[in-house]
Structure 1
Amino acid sequence: MLKVGAHTSIAGGAYNAVEEQVEYGGNCGQIFSHSPQVWQDPNIEDAEAERFRELSEDHDVGPWVIHSSYLVNLCTPKADLREKSVDSMQKEVEAADKLGVEYVNVHLGAHTGAGVDGGLDNAASALDELDVPDGVTVLVESDAGSGTKLGDQFDHLATVRERTDQEIEFCLDTAHLFAAGYDLSTPAAVDETLAAFDDVVGFGDLACVHLNDSKHECGTNKDEHAHVGEGEIGVEGMRAFVNHEAIRDVPLVLETPTEDGKSFAWNVDRVHELREA
């Protein structure tokens, strides 16, 4: 069964994200446990978490992903930022456990002068500090790149997995891949990019995809999402991606914009239209 959903809001209670997901026609999804723009601990009440679990089960919505704070930087050489990042991630995996959410998604961050190798070392050792509950997995997300950000190359992902003792898996973001220089605009390009991922990382550890088109051309390192099939990746690229054998059973989470009269519901429908039986 095709698993596709959107990033939904927990405003008014985490369980509202489930009801919003159902309205969009989604059957999996992603949330923030708090505002991603500030250092803040999740504040999820027991009854709220129980209701989230119940509604997810009743509507058969899942898996769910918690996206970590945008402030988290696992690659940083700065001790204070590292401490805040590890603490934030620990709170996220605990919130995931409470909600029955399977995954916590995080970007590696920027090495800010530590160098690529040093930044990847920092990220791996930061992940080692986490006490991740059984049933929760940390996903490292592919990045669009720019400046000293890491995670835009497949070998960055593989290196962190090799260096950490944490059992991590991965989330690919199609817009980020495209921005980082991995072409997805044609069936041949999709085959080539996914073959490269399989060679370096392997599909066995691919747990989720953020399915977004890109407003900018391949290799620009510009991270701005477009509606599925209406950006630079385009309809043929998106069709080839969602129908690729390695992707067909992977949950697809939309982070598409709400603009031009199109919302998450439109994008969920578009994915269903592109998906071949």
Structure 2
Amino acid sequence: MRVGAHVSIAGGVDNAVGNELDVGGNCGQIFTHSPQVWQDPNIGDDEAEEFRSMTSESLDGPWVIHTSYLVNLCTPKDGLREKSLDSMQKEVDAAAKLDIPYVNVHLGAHTGAGVQGGLENAVSVLDEIDIPDGVTILIESDAGSGTKLGGDFEHLGYVLEESEQDLDICLDTAHAFAAGYDLSTPEGVAETFEQLDEEVGLEHLKCVHLNDSKHECGTNKDEHAHIGEGLIGEDGMRAFINHDAIVENDVPLVLETPTENGKSFEWNIERVRELRNGAN
């Protein structure tokens, strides 16, 4: 099973490999810079080479780059659109430099453009990106608060269908739960995968952000909890982790769980392995 966590690149991107190994992961996710600001990735040739070498030697992979939180593909504002496009281009170029196959991005918020207008804006930005060979952009499912898009699987399906790019998706379990897809029971998990297959196609599911939720299903509130200890709960998490769509396709599970109550990534990764093996 490929399972890991979002880890820090402090001190150099090559440090992410050791950080991942420290928490027991064999795949993972990084930011190339602070996600709270507009900033270009600053990755030297030597650290990139070390990152690639250490990854090849020590991890199963894959790595995923998560884009800046400021990126908004759905925006009707020209200035923000151009900044988002520029940021996305630099992220996919960084991914190519690091031999990272995936760049993960939220669609963003339409801020008054309407759902259809926002989705069309997102497609137009994505179609302008010069994506290097070996890199795929993943559109992440969203919790759906305010005018944010991506909470409905239909939004993801539309973008993948309409874009000229070969895109795939990342499903965030806490986001999907917050958006109204009930993952708390085996029946709910099965129904959610059926809906995802119908609206998007399970062949496009290339990564999962595996997080439990501190809030009820359908609240659109995005706050992550430890695996099995939130409102998705142990039964839901076990059913999700062991679902054929995950197991048979060896979909990588990347955790963004909190560090609190004496539990961090290491505890959560071990819990995922226990639930895959059927332990209580």
Structure 2 Cα separation of the partners of residues 176 and 268 of structure 1: 19
The residue type equivalent to 1:215 in the other structure is K
Say whether the 8 Å CA contact 1:214–1:223 is kept in structure 2: yes
CA contact (8 A) 1:18 1:61 kept: no
Q: What is residue 269 of structure 2 aligned with on the other side?
A: 268
**Aligned in 2, Cα 1:11/1:61: closer, same or farther, shift over 3 Å?**
farther
1: CA distance, partners of 2:186 / 2:277: 14
Partner of 1:217: 216
Deviation at 1:95, TM superposition (A): 0.4
Question: Secondary structure of the residue that 2:64 maps to in structure 1?
Answer: strand
| Cα distance in 2 between the residues matched to 1:169 and 1:192 | 21
Task: Name 1:259's counterpart in structure 2.
Answer: 260
| CA distances 1:25-49 after superposition (whole Å, capped 9, x unpaired) | 1000000000000000000000000
Q: Which amino acid aligns with 2:266?
A: A
Provide the C-alpha distance between the structure 1 equivalents of 2:184 and 2:17, rounded to a whole number of angstroms: 32
Counterpart secondary structure, 1:246: helix
Q: Tell me the secondary structure at the aligned position of residue 151 of structure 2.
A: coil
Give TM-score, length-normalised by structure 2: 0.98
| Letter of the 1:196 counterpart | Q
Q: Which amino acid aligns with 2:262?
A: G
**How far does residue 61 in structure 1 lie from its aligned partner after superposition?**
3.6
| 1: CA distance, partners of 2:175 / 2:32 | 23
Q: For residue 83 of structure 1, what is the amino acid of its counterpart?
A: E
Structure 1 segments, 4+ long, off by >3 Å, are none
- Which structure 2 residues correspond to residues 159-174 of structure 1 after superposition, within 5 A? 159-174=158-173
Counterpart residue number, 1:148? 147
Aligned-partner residue type, residue 259 of structure 2: T
Distance 1:51 1:103 in 2: 19
Q: How far, CA to CA, are the matches of 2:75 and 2:8 in structure 1?
A: 29
Matched residue SS, 1:27 = coil
Query: How many aligned residue pairs are there?
Result: 276
SS at 2:244's partner residue?
coil
Measured in 2, the distance between the counterparts of 1:50 and 1:61 equals 17
In the alignment, is residue 105 of structure 1 matched against residue 107 of structure 2?
no
Match of 2:238 in 1: 239
1:65-111 deviation line (CA, Å, top 9, x unaligned): 00000000000000000000000000000000001111000000000
Which runs of 5 or more structure 1 residues have no equivalent in the other structure? none
Aligned: 1:5 with 2:16: no
Distance 2:63 2:20 in 1: 11
1:162 offset after TM fit, Å? 1.4
Deviation at 1:276, TM superposition (A): 2.8
Q: Tell me how far apart the structure 2 counterparts of residues 21 and 13 of structure 1 sit (CA, whole Å).
A: 14
TM superposition shift of 1:199:
1.0
CA distance in 2: counterparts of 1:72 and 1:241, whole angstroms: 29
**TM-score of the superposition, structure 1-length normalised?**
0.99
Q: Residue deviations 1:237-275, cap 9 Å, x none? A: 000000000011100000000000001000000000000
Percent of residue pairs bearing the same amino acid type: 71
AA at the equivalent of 2:171: L
Aligned to 1:38: 37
Q: Which residue of 1 aligns with 2:83?
A: 84
Distance 1:144 1:46 in 2: 37
The answer for unaligned runs of 5 or more in structure 2 is: none
Q: Which residue of the partner structure matches residue 134 of structure 2? A: 135
1:161 positional shift: 1.0
| 1:23 and 2:28 aligned | no
Q: In structure 1, what is the Cα distance between the partners aligned to 2:83 and 2:223?
A: 27
Local SS of the residue matching 1:231: coil
1:6 Cα deviation from its structure 2 partner:
0.2
Q: Which moved more, 1:71-80 or 1:194-203?
A: 194-203
Aligned-pair distance for 1:223? Answer: 0.2
